[in-house]
Chains A and B, each alone.
Chain A
Amino acid sequence: MNAIRIAGSQSTPEIHCNPESGTVLLQGDSYPENSYELYQPVIEWIETWLDRHQHLHLELRLVYMNTSSVKAMMDIFDILEAAHQKGQHVSVDWFYDRRNERVAEMADEFREDCTFTFQIIPDA
C-alpha cells in the first residue's frame, strides 16, 4: 500500500498514513474548504488497510475542527469501531497540549460510543 503524506497548512492538518507501521497521524487545525476532498483518501486508506491487516493505530494531535471535519472524524471512528467489533486491533491516542484542556474535553466527546482503546494523553 502507498503512504499518504500531506503537509499541514493554517487550515488543514498534517496527514501521514504510514503502511510501514500501520499508523495514521493527523496533526494541527482542521477547517478546510473541502473536508470531503481532504478526508476521503484517508478514509479509503483506512478501509483498505483494515481489509488487509488486523491492526491499526491512530495518532491525533488535532486542535480546532470545523463541522465537516468533525463529521469526517466521526466516520473514521465508526470504521474503527466496526473493525474492533470484528476482533481487529485498533487503538487511538489523542494528544493535547496541557495548556489547552478543552481539547481533551472535545476528544472525550468523540470517545463516547467507542469501545476500542482510546487514550487522551497530555503531551509531554
Chain B
Amino acid sequence: MPDFERIPHDDAGRRAWVRELLGSATLAEHPLRAAFEFLAEEYLAQEARLDRMMRIADGYSNLSHTQSLGAVEKYERTLRRLEKLARISDRYQKIVMELNESLKRAALEDDLTGLPNRRMLLEALRRETQRTQREGQPFSLIMLDVDHFKRINDRYGHDVGDQVLCEVAHTLQESLRDYDLCARWGVRNS
C-alpha cells in the first residue's frame, strides 16, 4: 500500500512514488484517475527530457572549456616560440653589427697605431681638395717622417719599435684640433 501523504524529497524518490501510485489498486476507481495518469506521464517524460538536456548542455560546456584551455596553451606556446625566435635573431644581428664595425675599423684604421690609414687619408684629401676648389680656401698638409727609426728596431727589436710608433702616433693625436686628421701613410720600413 503506497504512502499517499508523504512526498519524497529527491527526484528519483518522487518518480518511484508517482509510478507506485499509478499502479496502486486503491486509485483504480478514483474519478480523477485518468487525469492523474495523464499528468503523471507528462511529468515523468518532462523529467527524462530535462535530464537529457542537462547532460548534453554539460557535455558542450565541458567541450568548449577543454577547447579554450587548448587554445590558451597553444597561444602561450606560440608566444614562447616567438620570443625565442626574436631573442636568437637579435643576437645574430648584434654579431653582424659588431662584425661590420670591426671590418669598418680594419678598412679605415692602421692596425698597429689605431690612426686613420692611407685609405682614409686619401678620402680626406679628396674631400679637402674639392672644398678648396669650391671655396678657394687652402688647406695644410704636413708630412712627417721619423728619422733613423731603423736604429730603434735594430737596437731594441721590432716590439719596441712598434711601441715607439704607437707613442709617436699618440703624441701627434693629442696635439690635434677636432677637425684635424692625423693618418699613417707608410708601412713600417725597418
Contact = CB atoms under 8 A, between A and B. Distances in A.
A53 B89 CA distance: 33
Interface stretch (B30-38, B80-88, B140-148, B177-185): B80-88
Contacts of B9: none
Given A105-B91, A106-B92, 7 more contacts: A70-B89, A70-B92, A74-B84, A74-B85, A102-B91, A109-B88, A110-B88
A67 interface: yes
Interface residues of B, number: 10
A115 interface: no
Task: Give the interface centre of B85, B87, B88, B89 by most chain A CB atoms within 10 Å.
Answer: B88
A28 B87 CA distance: 21
B56 interface: no
B96 A64 contact: yes
Contacts of A85: none
Interface of A: 64-67, 70-71, 74, 102, 105-106, 109-110, 112-113
Contact of B92 (A66, A71, A112, A113): A66
Contacts of B92: 64-67, 70, 106
A71 B85 contact: yes
Contacts of A109: 84, 87-88, 91
Task: Give the interface centre of B81, B87, B89, B92 by most chain A CB atoms within 10 Å.
Answer: B92
B95 interface: yes
B85 A112 contact: no
B95 A70 contact: no
A70 B88 contact: yes
Nearest to A102: B95
B88 A106 contact: yes
27 contacts: A64-B92, A64-B95, A64-B96, A65-B88, A65-B92, A66-B89, A66-B92, A67-B85, A67-B92, A70-B85, A70-B88, A70-B89, A71-B85, A74-B81, A102-B91, A102-B95, A105-B91, A106-B88, A106-B91, A106-B92, A109-B84, A109-B87, A109-B88, A109-B91, A110-B88, A112-B84, A113-B84
A99 to B, nearest CB: 13
A104 B20 CA distance: 82
